[in-house]
Amino acid sequence: MEEELLLRLLIVGTWAIFGAIRIRYRLPASRRAAGDKYEPNRIVMGILSFGIVAYIVTLILYAVYIPLILWFSFSLPSVIRWLGVVAALLCTPFLYWTHSTLDKQYSADLSIKDGHNLIEIGPYRKVRHPMYTVFIVFTISIAIITANVLCIIFSLLISCSFPSIAKSEELMLIDAFGDEYNSYMGRTGRFFPPLRLNS
């Protein structure tokens, strides 16, 4: 099988698995009673929404191999594209782990529900926003597989929105949990485990 066709099929398959995990947890979350909602920055959310739509449209054009999309392709070593495949595939179990750790505390929006607890187990033991980490790595990895300038630009646009969203979420959680969350912030990293150097 031609490598480009195989890569396109892998993108579709990986997205299908990733999407199935998201739907599995997002649908029940959307039916749960809303709590106190917090509004993230509207400009950031607008940029994120535009980035997601543009990214998905670009991926669809790439997957069905519309000639127009080839204008934005560039040469990328095959080994780098296959590393993108490995990274994207690894994101799917991490997404499941993150969602299953949150379970019924997962919310489709920024809100605190009744009985909300601070989760400090699983991927949340060392990282405050592991789901955003997965989104960033997955989005960029898929873009690398395509070797398409547009897809990479839109993946970076999406990724650049998450620090602001994470900050809004942290302010919400400080309001809800106070010193407990401040202490948690002190021993965890935002997107990656903190680097501890022994002195």
- List, in order, residues 6 or more apart from 59 with CB less than 8 Å away: 11, 15, 142, 146, 151
**pTM (predicted TM-score):** 0.90
Residue 163 lies in a domain: yes
CATH code (residue 72)? 1.20.120.1630
Residue 34 lies in a domain: no
Question: Residues 37, 94: contact at Cβ < 8 Å?
Answer: no
Q: What is the pLDDT of residue 156?
A: 97
Residue 138 lies in a domain: yes
Using DSSP's 3-state secondary structure scheme, residue 112 falls into strand
Q: What is the pLDDT of residue 36?
A: 62
Q: What is the pLDDT of residue 199?
A: 41
Residue 182 lies in a domain: yes
Provide block-wise average pLDDT over 10 residues at a time, the chain (199 residues): 88 95 87 67 91 95 85 93 97 96 82 80 96 97 96 96 93 91 94 74
What Rg, from alpha-carbon coordinates, does the chain have?
18
Distance of CA 65 to the CA centre of its chain: 25
Helices (H), 32-129: 42-63, 67-70, 78-102
Residue 195 lies in a domain: no
Full residue range of the structural domain in which residue 95 is found: 3-27+39-109+119-186
Distance of CA 166 to the CA centre of its chain: 12
Q: What is the pLDDT of residue 116?
A: 81
Using CB atoms within 10 A of its CB, is residue 154 exposed (0-12), middle (13-18) or buried (19+)?
buried
Q: What is the pLDDT of residue 79?
A: 96
Residue 192 lies in a domain: no
Hey, what amino acid is at 33?
A
Neighbours of 61 (CB within 10 A): 19
Q: What is the pLDDT of residue 67?
A: 82
* Number of domains into which the chain is organized: 1
